[in-house]
């Protein structure tokens, strides 16, 4: 008897699982079921369709050669039967049957399975606030959402984005490019919470403000008002006008079908699976946004829904369901986005996450150009590298800037996955030529600074901590060791100027009983100043990590973004 494999959910994870199962076991009957009308589309591309970067919505549903991935494609090319517009209403695990409801005909049917794969995905989280069902309050999840958003993106109108995460910021850019007046509202005190630490998130926020997007952090939306369509967003007693609202505060895994069938739900609220993507039922697998996975650094269960992870999990689930053998070890939370002229991303743990998980860590902020500084088109990026103090093991990297950050994140992700230390990372033989990087790539430089810190040679202090000291009027010297021209053009209010080349002869101008924090543009001269002061017998010296380029706060003089 031929094996019957049924896959519920026909997007990233489900489509991959069904296709792989058929390739592994060509004699199996594979059926792919979805309640929607569109399948196997790239939801991550929706903001780019809204902004017209992607011209045709069909491009989100097609192969690289332009063939639309519809039911006919899956049948002819993959050998997979697709049933769209079909709701799975229940799973009878004992009988190995899924119960179906055909939306168009209202017909109730059933389908037997030998192996079942749950790829039910996730749904946008809808806050329980008043009048969220008004017209023009939309989400960013489906092709239908994409068409509605594009139709509502009317130049001159106002839009409020609820949620400052990846999708929220990408959608904010898309709507602003369509000529809308955009406000981003984030409940946390910073944008991209859970992805970037505060000082790097501030750099992203600065870019949004420079592009004309209003940013409101630490604000909770309490409701909406309007007659039939939304007109205002309520934030406590404050009212913001809005012709369009996009809800993007996150997603929740679709687990109701699994829960009703007695499938175990994990601590994250997503379906619990083992390394084979198998649930507590040996005949049922789960993959994609509906299931949890393991964080490779902490060993804890996490729910980090990404299209890349969904595809990898779908492949593993398809192999195993078809009788093969494969495992998915887990994730380290790698993510990236572009918002206007800024690229930003993270791999591994942020400083906040590392400390929350009990790691004793050291961090480094290292700004530099993404290629040789003299090469045309070189642009700045800021890296934040995090390592465990005792072992030197790399725990995470964050990267923000106008330049290329993905190659640094990818290299760090590889290093983190294979438990590399700061010393090992600093020795990696990366590709070099002036169009691609400096001779000492930013990532190598960051690893070297980290090694110096771990060895006690370098004593860096974050811009956030320096700002706190300034605000609280701590008794310390903030020492600018740049040139007089650099200092005169832009700087930090209250800093004392002694150019690095004159520091040795002007040591007498500095008090030996106070903390001295040196800084420059990128922290290299600041570190040199710390070493000079150390050698001269000063006992409380540091340098500011990242220098001016990593300073996310207001500066004396012109805006740093226009000067770097």
Which residue numbers are catalytic?
A: 44
CA distances, 343 to each of 15, 353, 382 (Å): 30, 21, 10
Question: Residue 67 corresponds to which tokens in the numbers above?
Answer: 């063939």
Residues 7 and 39: their CA atoms lie apart, in Å, by: 13
Contacts for 350 with CB less than 8 Å, ≥ 6 apart: 194, 195, 196, 197, 386, 396, 398
List phi, psi (to 5°) of 465. Answer: -70, -35
Provide DSSP, 354-422: HHHTT--EEEEEEEEESS-TTSTT--EEEEEEEEETTT-BEEEEEEEESS--HHHHHHHHHHHHTT-BH
d(CA 41, CA 352): 34
User: SS3 for 552?
Assistant: coil
401 and 204 Cβ atoms separated by less than 8 Å: no
By the 8 A CB rule, do 364 and 384 touch?
yes
Strand ranges for 269-340 from DSSP E: 284-286, 293-294, 301-302, 335-339
Report yes or no: 204 and 192 within 8 Å, Cβ to Cβ. yes
Is-contact 515 477, C-beta < 8 A?
A: yes
- Is residue 186 within 8 Å of 216, Cβ to Cβ? yes
| Secondary structure E strands in 261-355 | 284-286, 293-294, 301-302, 335-339, 342-348
| C-beta of residue 564 within 8 angstroms of C-beta of residue 384 | no
Would you call 342 helix, strand, or coil by DSSP? Answer: strand
Number of H helices, E strands in the chain: 15, 32
Contact 89, 110 (CB under 8 A): no
- Token pair belonging to 3: 């094996």
Comparing CA positions, the residue from 119, 107, 105, 95 lying closest to residue 31 is: 119
């Amino acid at each position: 008897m031929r094996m019957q494999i049924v896959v519920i959910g026909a997007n990233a994870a489900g489509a991959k699982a069904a296709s792989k199962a058929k390739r592994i076991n060509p004699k199996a009957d594979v059926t792919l079921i979805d309640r929607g009308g569109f399948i196997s589309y790239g939801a991550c591309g929706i903001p780019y369709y809204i902004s017209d970067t992607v011209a045709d919505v069909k491009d989100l549903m097609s192969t690289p050669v332009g063939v639309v991935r519809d039911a006919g494609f899956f049948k002819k090319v993959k050998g997979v039967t697709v049933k769209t517009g079909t709701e799975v209403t229940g799973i009878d695990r004992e009988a190995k049957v899924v119960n179906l409801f055909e939306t168009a005909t209202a017909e109730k049917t059933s389908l037997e399975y030998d192996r079942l794969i749950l790829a039910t995905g996730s749904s946008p989280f809808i806050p329980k606030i008043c009048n969220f069902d008004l017209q023009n309050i939309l989400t960013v999840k489906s092709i239908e959402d994409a068409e509605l958003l594009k139709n509502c993106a009317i130049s001159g109108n106002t839009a409020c984005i609820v949620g400052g995460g990846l999708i929220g910021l990408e959608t904010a850019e898309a709507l602003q490019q369509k000529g809308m007046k955009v406000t981003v509202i984030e409940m946390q005190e910073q944008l991209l919470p859970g992805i970037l630490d505060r000082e790097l998130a501030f750099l992203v926020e600065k870019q949004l403000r420079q592009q004309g997007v209003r940013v409101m952090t630490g604000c909770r939306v309490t409701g909406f008002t309007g007659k039939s369509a939304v007109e205002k967003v309520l934030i406590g007693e404050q009212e913001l006008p809005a012709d369009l609202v996009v809800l993007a505060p996150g997603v929740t895994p679709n687990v109701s079908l699994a829960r009703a069938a007695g499938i175990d739900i994990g601590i994250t609220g997503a379906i619990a699976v083992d390394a084979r993507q198998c649930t507590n039922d040996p005949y049922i697998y789960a993959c994609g946004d509906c299931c949890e996975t393991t964080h490779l650094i902490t060993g804890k269960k996490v729910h980090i829904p990404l299209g890349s992870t969904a595809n990898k999990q779908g492949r593993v689930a398809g192999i195993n369901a078809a009788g093969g053998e494969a495992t998915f070890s887990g994730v380290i939370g790698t993510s990236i986005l572009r918002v206007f002229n800024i690229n930003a991303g993270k791999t591994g743990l942020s400083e906040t996450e590392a400390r929350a998980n009990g790691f004793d860590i050291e961090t480094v902020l290292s700004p530099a150009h993404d290629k040789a500084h003299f090469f045309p088109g070189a642009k700045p990026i800021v890296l934040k590298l995090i390592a465990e103090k005792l072992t030197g093991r790399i725990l995470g990297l964050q990267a923000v800037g106008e330049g290329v950050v993905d190659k640094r994140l990818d290299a760090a992700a590889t290093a983190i996955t294979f438990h590399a230390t700061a010393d090992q990372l600093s020795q990696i033989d990366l590709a070099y030529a002036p169009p691609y990087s400096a001779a000492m790539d930013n990532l190598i430089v960051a690893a070297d600074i980290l090694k110096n810190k771990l060895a006690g040679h370098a004593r860096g202090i974050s811009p956030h901590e320096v700002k706190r000291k300034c605000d609280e009027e701590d008794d310390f010297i903030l020492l600018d060791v740049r040139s007089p021209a650099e200092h005169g053009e832009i700087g930090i209010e209250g800093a004392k100027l002694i150019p690095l080349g004159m520091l040795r002869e002007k040591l007498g101008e500095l008090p030996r009983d106070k903390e001295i924090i040196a800084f420059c543009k990128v922290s290299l001269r600041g570190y040199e100043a710390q070493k000079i002061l150390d050698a001269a017998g000063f006992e409380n010296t540091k340098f500011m990590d990242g220098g001016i380029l990593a300073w996310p706060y207001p500066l004396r003089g012109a805006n740093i973004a226009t000067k770097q």
